[in-house]
Structure 1
Amino acid sequence: MTDLTLYRPNVGVVLFNREGRVWYGRRHATPGPHNWQFPQGGVDAGEDLEAAARRELHEETGVTSVELLARTPDWIRYDFPPEAMNNAKAWRGFKGQKQQWFAFRFTGDEAEIDLTADKEVEFDAWRWGDLSEACDLIVPFKRPAYEQVVAAFAHLAQ
């Protein structure tokens, strides 16, 4: 049994447009080819998970016009690769991240999307794409987690 206390609490967001395509952001100042991902981020102590997902979505994309479609029932986790563990952040002693994923439908106008909405810019470009592309775009160590996310939300892309 995996000890989930070794994993940093995190939320992820798959943002669907009205046509069933999903929002991808290109990580700021990160070389390709695996530099596209969904919005995600840490959960503050005592923060409600859906509130954290909405906050992270707004901070990273500027988007607030959304409706909740679905949520993963369980934590999806991944381990940090050894090279990331040497990062100055030291990942605060965590082995990896455990994530609750949320699917939202974007109900606003694309003019709402603002990658500079927060002082810490996560993405420097964005695009709509097919959900099925996710696993090919993400860094390899997150691929098993993304496979679970794609499977959980595939019914929303049709």
Structure 2
Amino acid sequence: MTMAATDFTALPYRPCAGVMLLNREGKVFVGQRLDSTTEAWQMPQGGIEPGEDAETAALRELGEETGIASDKVTLVAAAPDELRYDLPDELIGKLWGGRWRGQRQRWFLYRFTGDDTDIDIRTAHQEFRAWRWVAPTDLPAMIVPFKKALYEQVLAAFANRLG
């Protein structure tokens, strides 16, 4: 069963938090999603639980997706504004039980103070099949197309802290 396109606008945005994680060389952590058949890479991000603040959610998601403990990161900045993206029409109703039209996200920039050996994507909530460090400018080309504008906004939010 699909909804008419006009019904999508009535759906709310899923509250989420994201982490742009920089290593000592100024490169950004990305993981390749397990549930995607494309070469889609993304930064750690996920839903904010009821009663949880955005930064707590960001650190929880970072741990759940990368195995990185919160004592291995230092907060550099928080994006001043909440950022949003809409799912493509063909995915609305298929993802998240059809409850959301997209996501509204709070983004945080962290410096990774650990070593690569502190990263283990084989977590209890594994979401990534592979990971790597990339130049921040490479991010928009690596993400699924419908999130490209969002990643450009994340880069703009942290531009004065990168490179």
Give me the whole-angstrom Cα distance separating, in 1, the residues matched to 2:151 and 2:22: 16
Q: What's 1:122 paired with?
A: 127
What 5-or-longer segments of structure 1 have no aligned partner? none
When residues 88 and 97 of structure 1 are mapped into structure 2, their CA distance, relative to the original with a 3 A threshold, is closer
Counting aligned pairs with the same residue, the percent is 48
| Larger Rg belongs to | 2
Q: What's 1:153 paired with?
A: 158
**Letter paired with 2:145:** P
What 5-or-longer segments of structure 2 have no aligned partner? 1-8
When residues 152 and 89 of structure 1 are mapped into structure 2, their CA distance, relative to the original with a 3 A threshold, is closer
TM-score w.r.t. the length of structure 2 is 0.88
Shift of 1:153: 1.5
Give me the whole-angstrom Cα distance separating, in 1, the residues matched to 2:15 and 2:35: 25
Number of matched pairs = 153
Does the residue aligned with 1:133 lie in a helix, a strand or coil?
helix
When residues 140 and 88 of structure 1 are mapped into structure 2, their CA distance, relative to the original with a 3 A threshold, is closer
Q: Which range moves more in the overlay, 142-151 or 24-33?
A: 24-33
Shift of 1:18: 1.0
**Letter paired with 1:71:** A
Give me the whole-angstrom Cα distance separating, in 1, the residues matched to 2:144 and 2:47: 18
Does the residue aligned with 1:84 lie in a helix, a strand or coil?
coil
Does the residue aligned with 2:49 lie in a helix, a strand or coil?
coil
Give me the whole-angstrom Cα distance separating, in 1, the residues matched to 2:161 and 2:41: 20
Give me the whole-angstrom Cα distance separating, in 2, the residues matched to 1:46 and 1:88: 23
Which of residues 27, 34, 39 is equivalent to 1:28?
34
**Letter paired with 2:25:** E
Give the conservation status (yes or no) of the 8 Å contact 1:63–1:114: yes
TM-score w.r.t. the length of structure 1 is 0.90
**Within-5 A mapping of 1:91-106:** 91=98, 93-106=99-112
Q: What's 1:144 paired with?
A: 149
